[in-house]
Amino acid sequence: MNIGIDQISFYTSQYFLDLRTLAEARGVDPDKYVIGIGQSKMGIPPPDEDVVTMAASAAFQLKEQGALDGVEALLFATESGIDQSKAAGMFVHGLLGLPERCRVVELKQACYSATAALRMAMGLVAMRPQSKVLVIAADIARYELGSPGESTQGCGAVAFTISADPRLIVIDPESGFYADDVMDFWRPNYLSEAQVDGKYSTLVYIKALKAAWTQYAEESGRSLDDFARFCYHIPFTRMAAKAHQKLARGISDEELENVIGESLIYSREAGNCYTASLYVGIVSLLDHCAEDLSGKRIGLYSYGSGCVGEFFSGVVQPGYHDVLLTNEHQKLLNERMELTFQQYEDIYHYGIPTDGGEHVFPQYRTGPFRFAGIERHKRIYEEA
């Protein structure tokens, strides 16, 4: 049975900071961010946007297409959890009006957990081929102001449905995966900013990639030539480029751009979306690739610090163009509002109240849903 991604949508916040603005404020050469890191802008969520509203906004686009009919599970991948107990997906279930006959759970393993969700979803669909699973990955990448990680912040969500006979990508059964207990990136429960050993994290990313690829290649018998394109986990776009250069030693700049270039366009605009990053890359590739990818195989690498890496693959399905939401994605990015540096820092410092009192948040521009406030430690969401 063929199982895979039936439809996919992407959402990021309505506000961004240009990295040249950040560079100027921090006294850094803008080329470091734009060329050295490979990022242009970073998505900044206003106080009334969080992983729930971004996730619901991404999935709402699928709902409008009728793609959520038959959904029996919602798997929510995030490392920006809003509650230690209640899954963020429960709020999304309510906002989207999903059926009561639905399993809902939240998954965590840094940026890897959306791929774990995809695997679990495939298992559920294999057991009940008439059913669908909604997977949502949503995150806010946040580092200390002035730290090396600051320029790699961002936010966004990707929602996709897993079904039998999918219209977009059939996921291959072969896979290479790798785990190692390391401290390259983590966020203790009492901190709102990630802690990161940045250089070390890039080395572990590559180490896990090599191990996962070796295993995948042995299991599948495929070589790099069997792939039309590659999508990587993208903490910043230069990382994906470096990763592919490690696998395809000696690759020319032109060929590198050809096999990964289209997958990096949205990430350069939205910044790191953690769990969603690989999937932002897939959306970006499908939305931008001028070549017809029908019947072509794409290589996929998911990495989550701490760490788990997985290399897997999928075959793009004929007719895939008909189910893409390219116009919606480009409209969203084109209509975003640019923040000044002062506005960026003000939003950064706007903390979520923890006193259990009644708080109403100012209304900013969001998607169809907003995080309206907090009452007695309960998050209140509403239609925008």
Binding site for ligand COA (CB under 6 A): 29, 31-32, 35-37, 148-149, 152, 196, 198-199, 201-202, 205, 235-236, 239, 305
Tokens encoding 281? 């890359």
- Least separation in angstroms between residue 152's CB and ligand COA is 4
Distance CA 78, CA 92 (A): 13
Are 177 and 212 within 8 A, CB to CB?
A: yes
Buried/exposed code over 354-368 (b: 16+ C-beta within 10 A; e: otherwise): eeeeeeebeebebbb
Nearer to ligand COA, 11 or 232 (CB): 232
Using CB atoms within 10 Å of the CB of residue 71, give its burial: 0 to 12 exposed, 13 to 18 middle, 19+ buried.
buried
Catalytic site residue 111?
A: yes
- Least separation in angstroms between residue 263's CB and ligand COA is 16
Catalytic annotation, pick one of 93, 233, 244, 329: 233
Angle between helices 253-260 and 237-247 (to 10 degrees): 110
Catalytic annotation, pick one of 106, 111, 244, 269: 111
Nearer to ligand COA, 44 or 196 (CB): 196
Nearer to ligand COA, 35 or 126 (CB): 35
Nearer to ligand COA, 181 or 225 (CB): 181
Tokens encoding 19? 């990295």
State the DSSP code for 321. Answer: G
Element (H, E) at 160: strand 154-164
Q: What is the DSSP string of 341-371?
A: HHHHHHHHH-PPP-SSS-EEPPP---SSEEE
- Least separation in angstroms between residue 201's CB and ligand COA is 4
Nearer to ligand COA, 47 or 309 (CB): 309
- Least separation in angstroms between residue 228's CB and ligand COA is 25
- Least separation in angstroms between residue 300's CB and ligand COA is 16
Nearer to ligand COA, 187 or 359 (CB): 187
Buried/exposed code over 296-313 (b: 16+ C-beta within 10 A; e: otherwise): ebbbbbbbbbbbbbbbbb
Angle between helices 277-288 and 113-127 (to 10 degrees): 80
Nearer to ligand COA, 19 or 55 (CB): 19
- Least separation in angstroms between residue 182's CB and ligand COA is 11
State the DSSP code for 336. Answer: P
Residue whose token pair is 């794409």: 298
Using CB atoms within 10 Å of the CB of residue 182, give its burial: 0 to 12 exposed, 13 to 18 middle, 19+ buried.
middle
Catalytic site residue 102?
A: no
Indicate the residue whose CB is closest to ligand COA: 36
Element (H, E) at 36: none
- Least separation in angstroms between residue 147's CB and ligand COA is 7
Catalytic site residue 233?
A: yes
Active site residues: 79, 111, 233
